[in-house]
């Protein structure tokens, strides 16, 4: 096989064989195929697309390009979730302890934030002493002991994705459905879980901007998971406003703790319980969604889910007292109110602008090696449809660097559109996709 011939075939919209796809992945990871030829192939895929079989073959070849996590030592059915990214989305820190409290085994490998979206590992590391760099043995042991563990990728996991994503980022080929689906699912398959629930977000604060594209990617990823022998379900959810109120790492953790204490209702709780019920059903612990969701809400009401979070924090060397004393989390030096310039109703919120304002304050990264400040961020005070008076508080900035305050304030204020009448509330869960 020759890479030039493969590029030519895809350029002419012909289907690539499993062998051709595996040849490309293996030879690229080994360094035998140069970046410029893979760049040409990525652009051909962007224009010509890939069918379900091709995308599955690409996913499996990427998953096989490095280590795979062995979860056979987990006592029960290990399950995992993945979100395509959003703003004030701290569902993992709620869902994982809820699933554990209901008898599940949540073995979760997470990533760090980049751009306007937050990363679960960064949130966890806002907890004093918290470790996310466990070995595979420690990971399995913590899952068995606590019912959950959330860690970073260990070893040489899916090196093909690391190389391909870096190249996609600089060749304008990130927004390709088969490339998105294979990137996500290769990491999920290599992480070893038997069941996977996907939260595919669409809207102003999401990477995917339309329901049609989100639904297409959700169908593609569930098909890949099914072909690979994993029970896979996806929910297509709304991200046209921040999911919760906290945008920033310590603020996210504090809000997750508040939800687990039973102190918060609303979209963040509703999406979290919806994801938890899917995980409990695919783990075989409940026969239907209604009984699973009732169990998830009981786990919060009883305090058992909060206790599971504390147990995981302690097992991973963090300070478990944070579940009772959120003041132990990092705190910014001061706060600044973002106020409305007119009265009326909130008719739109650009969640991406709010996320980028938090990034300006130091809560996010422009590049993977940028440092972050766990204390800073934004607390959103208004949601779609809320009435607003002129001069009323829309959000609160948590600031450490004074030089960032002005630009962040302007960007955050500009994210809120005020109109004369309240809009209809958006559908929070657009579609459930299952094989």
Rounded Cα–Cα distance for residues 12 and 216 (Å):
23
Beta-strand ranges (E) seen in 218-324 are: 231-238, 246-247
Rounded Cα–Cα distance for residues 263 and 404 (Å):
32
Q: 190: Cβ–Cβ under 8 A, 6 or more apart, which residues?
A: 63, 66, 67, 68, 69, 157, 158
Our answer to whether residue 187 is catalytic in this structure is yes
Buried b (16+ CB within 10 A) or exposed e, 142-162: bbeebbbbbbbbbeebbbbbb
User: Exactly one of 65, 149, 183, 258 is catalytic; which is it?
Assistant: 183
Buried b (16+ CB within 10 A) or exposed e, 92-111: bbbbbbbbbbbebbbbbbbb
Nearest to 359 by CA among 123, 166, 117, 122: 117
Our answer to whether residue 161 is catalytic in this structure is yes
Nearest to 394 by CA among 384, 385, 382, 408: 382
- Copy the structure tokens of residue 324: 């009772």
User: Exactly one of 10, 22, 108, 187 is catalytic; which is it?
Assistant: 187
Q: Residues 278, 280, 282, 285: is their CA dihedral positive or negative?
A: negative
User: Exactly one of 122, 161, 199, 267 is catalytic; which is it?
Assistant: 161
User: Exactly one of 82, 105, 227, 411 is catalytic; which is it?
Assistant: 82
User: Exactly one of 162, 168, 365, 398 is catalytic; which is it?
Assistant: 168
CB-side neighbour CA atoms (13 Å) of 399: 19
Please say whether the beta carbons of 313 and 325 come within 8 A: no
Q: Could you give the angle at which helices 289-301 and 304-315 cross, rounded to 10 degrees?
A: 70
**Beta strand pairing status for 246-247 and 344-349?**
unpaired
- Copy the structure tokens of residue 286: 């409940």
Our answer to whether residue 10 is catalytic in this structure is no
Rounded Cα–Cα distance for residues 177 and 58 (Å):
13
DSSP 80-136: EEEE---SS--THHHHHHHHHHTT-EEEEEE---BTTB--HHHHHTTSTT------H
Residue 82 bridge partners (DSSP): 198
Our answer to whether residue 116 is catalytic in this structure is no
Where in the sequence numbering do the catalytic residues fall?
82, 161, 168, 183, 187
């Amino acid at each position: 096989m020759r890479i030039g011939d493969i590029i030519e075939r895809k350029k002419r919209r012909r289907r690539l064989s499993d062998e051709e796809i595996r040849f490309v992945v293996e030879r690229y990871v080994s360094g035998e195929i140069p970046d410029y030829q893979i760049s040409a192939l990525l652009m051909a895929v962007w224009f010509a697309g890939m069918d379900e079989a091709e995308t599955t073959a690409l996913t499996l070849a990427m998953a096989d390009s490095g280590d795979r996590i062995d979860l056979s030592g987990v006592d029960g059915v290990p399950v995992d979730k993945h979100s395509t990214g959003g703003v004030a989305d701290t569902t993992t820190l709620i869902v994982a302890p809820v699933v554990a409290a209901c008898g599940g085994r949540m073995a979760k490998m997470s990533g760090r934030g980049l751009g306007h979206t937050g990363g679960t590992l960064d949130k966890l590391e806002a907890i004093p002493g918290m470790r996310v760099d466990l070995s595979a043995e420690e990971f399995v042991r913590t899952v068995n002991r606590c019912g959950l563990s959330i860690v970073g990728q260990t070893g040489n996991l899916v090196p093909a994705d690391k190389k391909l994503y870096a190249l996609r980022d600089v060749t304008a080929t990130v927004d390709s459905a088969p490339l998105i689906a294979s990137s996500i699912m290769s990491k999920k398959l290599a992480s070893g879980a038997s069941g996977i629930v996907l939260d595919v977000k669409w809207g102003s604060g999401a990477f995917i901007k339309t329901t049609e594209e989100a639904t297409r990617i959700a169908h593609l990823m569930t098909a890949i998971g099914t072909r690979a022998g994993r029970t896979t379900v996806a929910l297509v959810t709304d991200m046209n406003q921040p999911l919760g109120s906290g945008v920033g790492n310590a603020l996210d953790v504090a809000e997750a703790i508040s939800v687990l204490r039973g102190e918060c209702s609303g979209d963040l709780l509703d999406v979290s319980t919806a994801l938890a019920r899917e995980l409990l059903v695919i783990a075989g612990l409940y026969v239907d969604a209604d009984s699973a969701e009732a169990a998830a809400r009981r786990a919060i009401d009883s305090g058992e889910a909060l206790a599971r979070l504390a147990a995981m924090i302690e097992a991973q060397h963090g300070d478990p007292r944070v579940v009772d004393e959120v003041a132990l989390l990092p705190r910014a030096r001061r706060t600044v109110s973002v106020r409305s310039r007119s009265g009326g109703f909130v008719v739109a919120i650009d969640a991406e602008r709010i996320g980028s304002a938090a990034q300006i304050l130091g809560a996010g990264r422009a590049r993977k090696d940028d440092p972050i400040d766990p204390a800073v961020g934004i607390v959103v005070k208004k949601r779609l449809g809320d009435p607003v008076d002129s001069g009323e508080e829309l959000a609160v900035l948590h600031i450490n660097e004074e030089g960032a305050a002005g630009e962040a304030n302007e960007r955050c204020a500009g994210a809120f559109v005020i109109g004369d009448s309240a809009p209809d509330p958006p559908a929070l869960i657009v579609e459930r996709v299952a094989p």
